Copies of this chain bind each other. A is one copy, B any other.
Amino acid sequence: MQGLDDNDLKILELLQRDGRATHAAVGKAVGLSAPSVYARIQRLEKSGVIRGYAAQLDPAGVGRGLAAFVRVTTRAITASEEQDEFERFVLAEPLILECHDVDGEDSYILKVRAATLESLRDLLARIRGIAAVSRTVTSIGMVTIKEEGVAPLPANGPGASRGKRS
């Protein structure tokens, strides 16, 4: 289900930076006509490469200036049902923006944005109340240096997926 040429990648990069860029503007940047760009975007949306579009909000502006990362450890012998309970909780909890199942010492890493320390404290208490959870370690964010969405990698740099030589 893949086959992105350079034009596709450029379009994705532009839309990632400005989700409301017009087809004409994008077309000008890649050297294509607006309808052609439209057709490509349509294809990228249907194939799932473009999941959707979102307004990027200022966390502090919507009263959620407090960022925190929570490393969650689950009990060694945890039933599948208990895992599900934890993941259901995560999906339903608005304060939790991200949840990643990770390897290594921890089981999950959560990204949280709350309004106050009190609400964060309350959230942590509820997390620890879940049967599968044995331990949490929380890091409070002081400053956000960088925070952006995933974009196509620019070129055949160190992290590029392309450029595999035979």
A59→B150 contact, CB < 8 A: yes
Give the oligomeric copy count. Answer: 2
Segment 67-124 of A: residues with Cβ below 8 Å from B: 67, 69, 87, 90-91, 94-106, 108-109, 111, 113-116, 119-120, 122-123
Contact across chains for A104 and B64 when beta carbons are under 8 A apart: no
The residue that A54 contacts in the complex, of B9, B53, B145, B157, with Cβ under 8 A, is: B53
Please name all residues of chain B whose beta carbon is closer than 8 Å to the beta carbon of A123 when the two chains form the complex: 158-159
A56 to B64, CA, bound (A): 21
- Indicate which residue in B108, B145, B148 contacts A87 across the interface (CB closer than 8 Å): B145
Give complex CA distance A20, B52 in Å: 9
List CB contacts (< 8 Å) of A6-50 with chain B. Answer: 9, 12, 15-20, 47-50
Contact yes or no, B145 A18, CB < 8 A: no
* Complex-state Cα separation, A62 to B49, whole angstroms: 7
